[in-house]
Chains A and B, each alone.
Chain A
Amino acid sequence: MNPRRLTLILVPYLWLLALFLVPFLIVLKISLSDTAIAIPPYIPKLDLSTGWHGITAFFADLDFENFVFLAEDDLYWKSYLSSLRIASISTLLTLLVGYPIAYGIAQAPEEWRPTLLMLVILPFWTSFLIRVYSWIGIISNEGLLNQALISSGLIAEPIQIMNTTQAVYLGIVYTYLPFMILPIYSALDKMDVSLTEAAIDLGCSRRQAFWLVILPLSRPGVIAGCFLVFIPALGEFVIPSLLGGSDTLMIGKVLWEEFFSNRDWPVASAVAVILLGILVLPIMLFQRNQERQQETDR
């Protein structure tokens, strides 16, 4: 192998090994350690400085204490379930909001489409934090929405939206909407116009043509969009901590608090390991969907 090619491969490879894979192995190792009041606040179980003996001692002494703790404490599995529920419901809501927009863009005259697409992408370039923050002034109890509803006489007391799970749904739909619109649009855009025309010629109404032809053919885009929303939403931290209430349990927030407030590193690491375990399935399904789509494109 020539030296130039070797450098080309080795530099990014070693960088990723050192700063992606090794850190993750450390998380795995600490998740198996005991909690302690010390700096750093855990007792390492795996001591490589004693060589082979250290490794055998590690396996002899291996317990899944932190994982048992997670299983026994209600808080954790309730947080996992509630994260799954919140992520699923918000993915569905994002689909319901995003599909009509993507469909509208695909139906728009060709010269409008680049501008419409840019308008979808533009919010993605602005700060995520600011986009979440922009809702606080609208939905809080003294916020604009409640003010408007009260002054129009529809309600007498402000409705509590801020600091509820509903606010988290809203935040996720708002911030992840571009991820849903873009893959659906690209599936619709690739579609052959003559298919819809054929359906209409053969006696379908426009609505039937949509349900029987367009919707089924846009399925790969829908699936990709759903994964692109669901996967990051599951580990979301910023949205539940800014818009959610104290009863909105999401695992990203639990991990953060376990680490920063309780300083319990082994438990935080165990929470991370399980979260990743949950994510493996959707990530693999997503990967397969993408590969299949690429094959049909060819």
Chain B
Amino acid sequence: MNGRLTWFNVTSLTLGFAFLYLPMLILILYSFNESKLVTVWGGFSAKWYGELLRNEQFLDAFWVTLRVGLISSTLATVLGTMAAYVMVRGGRFFGRTLFTGMIYAPLVMPEVITGLSLLLLFIAIGLDRGIFTIVLAHTTFSMCFVSVVVSSRLVTFDRSLEEAALDLGATPLDTFRLVTLPIITPAVISGWLLAFTLSLDDLVIASFTSGPSSTTLPIKIFSAVRLGVSPEINALSTLMIAVVALGVITASLVSKNALRRQRREKQEAFAA
């Protein structure tokens, strides 16, 4: 496309981004509201953040969510990377179509169905619901997202690099460690991040698969929000938005720097 903005483009971009960001900005602003009445401005105060940090239920739920997120996203990254390998490099094997189908289906499956089916499985095999069952559920659906991210990197991978390493005498394991892994690492990391956010964010599947002692943060937020707007939830949301914004901005800066360094190294190599 030609980089010429018309007034129509400018208006639609301005309105579009205002629509995307205003609700969240308002939420952040009102988390600093002194008044208990959430829609009346009563002066600036950070007291709801204090209340939030003293609320044991939210803290407990936070630790459960963090634990589930870390374990399930790590498991999902390992399984998803394996699955991506099988899809891109696996060649022909029995039941390949079923395998690819099972990778893509969970991406579009309504959460209520995934949650219901996993719960019925856990009950059928007599598994007590708790952190473990949430981890199993989250690993299953996020590994599919990881494998899509990683396989899109593997498809564009220049295989002659691996062949060169093998020709030069590297063992298959060394080749994987020294050649393949560094190249797919960015995709694996973004897969992990995606799996982690999906797990932190999930309400529906966690509600089906959690037990009474393992309430996650989204479940807690959902039951509080059903009763209406609360300043504590505003404060919690602000913290979550801040963490995500920081994470994404850092990640993009890091990758931009890495790209710049790579380009410089290449130039120097050519110059030498």
Contacts and interface: CB of A to CB of B under 8 A. Distances in A.
Interface of A: 1, 5, 8-9, 11-13, 15-17, 19-24, 26-27, 30, 40, 97, 100-101, 103-110, 116, 118-123, 125-131, 133-138, 140, 142-144, 147, 174, 177, 188-189, 191, 193, 196-197, 206, 231-232, 234-238, 241-242, 252, 255-256, 259, 265, 268-269, 272, 275-276, 279, 283, 286-287
A281 to B, nearest CB: 12
B16 A235 contact: no
Contact of B241 (A97, A126, A138, A232): A126
B258 to A, nearest CB: 15
B267 interface: no
Contacts of A188: 1
Nearest to A39: B123
B77 to A, nearest CB: 12
Given A21-B102, A26-B117, A13 B95 contact: yes
A22 B117 CA distance: 9
Contacts of A196: 1-2
Interface in B95-144: 95, 98-99, 102-106, 108-113, 116-118, 120-121, 123-124, 136-137, 139-140, 143
Contacts of A242: 222, 225-226
A97 B18 CA distance: 12
Nearest to B13: A104
A228 to B, nearest CB: 9
A147 B112 CA distance: 36
A24 B102 CA distance: 11
Contacts of A238: 203-204, 222
A18 to B, nearest CB: 8
Contacts of A269: 116, 120
A84 B190 CA distance: 34
B244 A191 contact: no
The 10 closest A-B pairs by CB, nearest first: A235-B110, A100-B12, A23-B117, A101-B16, A134-B23, A23-B121, A104-B13, A12-B83, A104-B9, A16-B102
B19 A97 contact: yes
B2 A206 contact: no
Given A19-B137, A24-B113, A177-B16, 19 more contacts: A12-B79, A21-B102, A23-B120, A24-B117, A30-B120, A97-B19, A100-B8, A104-B5, A107-B9, A109-B3, A122-B244, A122-B245, A126-B24, A126-B241, A126-B245, A134-B23, A232-B110, A252-B112, A265-B120
B248 A107 contact: no
B12 A134 contact: no
Q: Is the interface of B mostly helix, strand, loop or mixed?
A: helix
A72 to B, nearest CB: 22
B102 A20 contact: yes
A269 B110 CA distance: 13
B143 to A, nearest CB: 7
A149 B166 CA distance: 71
A138 B218 CA distance: 21
A9 B244 contact: no
Contact of A107 (B3, B95, B104): B3
A119 B82 CA distance: 32
Interface stretch (B47-55, B85-93, B181-189): B85-93
Contacts of A116: 13
B39 A8 contact: no
Contacts of B93: 1, 9
A97 B83 CA distance: 37
